[in-house]
């Protein structure tokens, strides 16, 4: 029942946010992560969100096209790109609700570490037993890229 409630909350918030604001929960989650700390690179964002660099890069690209984030060269290392919120990205965060993903993530921080570890271990065992352990974890409820859908 708890898993059903989580899936329901994620699904409903995704539908409502996209319809109302045109931003997916994954995009909102990336914006929230950018607002909470130093100006991270895409690789740092991937680490912070426990997903791949490729997944985060796609989401950041979508946010950049909407003018909610910018990708600039790192002055300390011209090979790297720094991702920052734009003024429009900050305004969006101020006027919208905290994402369900962020609520769930913050709630994990309130649990004892042994409970979080047991939950993670149990979920991994369940996924492996279902034969789904090979799937790459992606940001929750972010649609596939158009190129990937065309080739599928």
The per-residue pLDDT for range 117-150, each reduced to its tens digit, is 999 999 999 999 999 888 877 766 666 654 444 4
pLDDT at 28: 87
Higher pLDDT, 147 or 13: 13
CB-CB contact of 29 with 36 (8 Å): no
CB-CB contact of 49 with 101 (8 Å): no
Helix ranges, the chain (H): 2-21, 25-36, 42-49, 53-65, 87-95, 100-108, 113-129, 146-151
Residue-wise pLDDT for 36-79, tens only, equals: 876 668 888 988 888 888 889 999 999 999 999 998 888 888 88
């Amino acid at each position: 029942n708890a898993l059903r409630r989580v899936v329901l909350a994620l699904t409903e918030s995704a539908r409502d946010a996209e319809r109302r604001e045109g931003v997916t929960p994954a995009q909102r989650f990336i914006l929230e992560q950018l607002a909470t700390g130093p100006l991270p690179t895409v690789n740092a964002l991937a680490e912070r969100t426990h997903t791949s660099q490729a997944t985060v890069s796609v989401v950041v690209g979508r946010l950049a096209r909407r003018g909610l984030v910018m990708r600039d060269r790192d002055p300390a290392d011209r090979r790297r790109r720094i991702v920052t919120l734009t003024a429009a990205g900050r305004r969006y965060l101020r006027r919208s609700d905290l994402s369900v993903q962020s609520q769930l993530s913050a709630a994990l921080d309130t649990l004892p570490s042994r409970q979080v570890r047991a939950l993670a271990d149990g979920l991994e065992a369940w996924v492996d037993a279902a034969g789904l352990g090979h799937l790459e974890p992606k940001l929750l409820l972010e649609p596939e890229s158009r190129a990937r859908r065309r080739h599928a």
